[in-house]
Chains A and B, each alone.
Chain A
Amino acid sequence: MTEEHGGTSFEDRLRAARERRGLDPKPPPPGPSEESEPSLLGLGFRVAVELLSAMLVACAIGWGIDRLAGTRPLFLILFVPLGGAAGILNVWRVFAPRQEAGKERK
């Protein structure tokens, strides 16, 4: 790119022109949504969903095994604490910094 017009490159002039027209804040519409994600309400909702979903799946599996095996309360009782633990694990996965590969969990 040739430098002309008092040392301002084409990119600079384009950016200045876009800012004048107010075009630049518009292009990344999904962009700001990533930043606005960790609102407290959203965070609380996420934790609740993670805890509840693990518990729900555990109850469903325990109840299903009981139904098939005819051991009514046994597996349900076994799976409820497991579901609670899995829920805590889910929440931990949300917040824990991932050391390998520097990948953060969303």
Chain B
Amino acid sequence: MASGNIDALSQFELHTALGEAGAAVHFSQSNLMMVVAAVLTLALLVIGMRPRAMVPGRLQAAAEMIYEFVYSMCVDTIGPEGRRFFPFIFTLFLFILLGNLIGVFPYFFTFTSHIAVTLALTIVVVLMVTLVGLAIHGLHWFSYFVPQGVPKALLPLLVPIEVLSYLSRLISLSVRLFANMMAGHVMLEVFGAFVVMLGAAGWYGWLPAIFAFGVNVILIGFEILVAVLQAYVFAILSCIYLHDAVHLH
């Protein structure tokens, strides 16, 4: 940015965190933020639920609301069997939600803006869905790839398409989260750079600089919406995939 061009992508570079000890084990700031997200989740649930009051306070109400929100999402989407997958979906949702949200704060790193992280999460989801399907239905689960009501002659063509469609979840789920988070932060960086460059250009740049600053303020609000929305979309799509695995066709 100092040299005059906008360097929007260096914010996603990984550095080692926690000084010497972190450098020795390649503990990056991304990993540190994952720990922060996990600790915040635990804090919300443990400290929030400590009063165990009949009439909940703010923190307890927040904890209960998130719990009930995810619980009803599981049961509504997957069916009564969804209760078994609730811990998994709840963990996934809160981890992604907090990862997205803490990325909005300055000096925090959005670990969900790396495709390595989102792809790893997606691989866990797809592996889990596949294993759940195999565990419930056995080898009969492979009939998921055979569409019903089509002539036998077309099956050699349609089954690979179904398999590809199944596997493309890996990419679509991970790219959706990663691209949304990365695009938002690139936009923030670009407009932030506009403010600095226009402000440094002299008095005639101040009005556009104020405008760019206003855009950035709006973008922050938009980022919060996207953060919550993408965590929700990731969780609900995982639920839908689990539903497909539990109820074949």
Contacts and interface: CB of A to CB of B under 8 A. Distances in A.
Interface of A: 27, 29-30, 33-34, 36-37, 45-46, 49-50, 52-54, 56-58, 61, 79, 82-83, 85-87, 89-90, 93, 100-101, 103, 105-106
B164 to A, nearest CB: 4
B214 interface: no
A100 B237 contact: no
Interface of B: 65, 69, 157, 160-162, 164-165, 167-172, 175-176, 179, 225, 228-229, 232-233, 236-237, 240, 243, 247, 249
Contacts of B176: 45-46, 49
Contacts of B165: 54, 86, 89-90, 93
A106 to B, nearest CB: 5
A86 B168 contact: yes
Grouping DSSP codes into helix (H, G, I), strand (E, B) and loop, the A interface class, with mixed when no group exceeds half, is helix
Contacts of B225: 33, 36
A56 B168 CA distance: 8
Given A30-B69, A33-B225, A37-B229, A57 B164 contact: yes
A57 B162 CA distance: 12
10 contacts: A27-B65, A30-B228, A33-B232, A53-B169, A56-B168, A83-B168, A86-B164, A87-B168, A101-B247, A103-B243
A82 B160 contact: yes
Nearest to B169: A53
Nearest to B61: A27
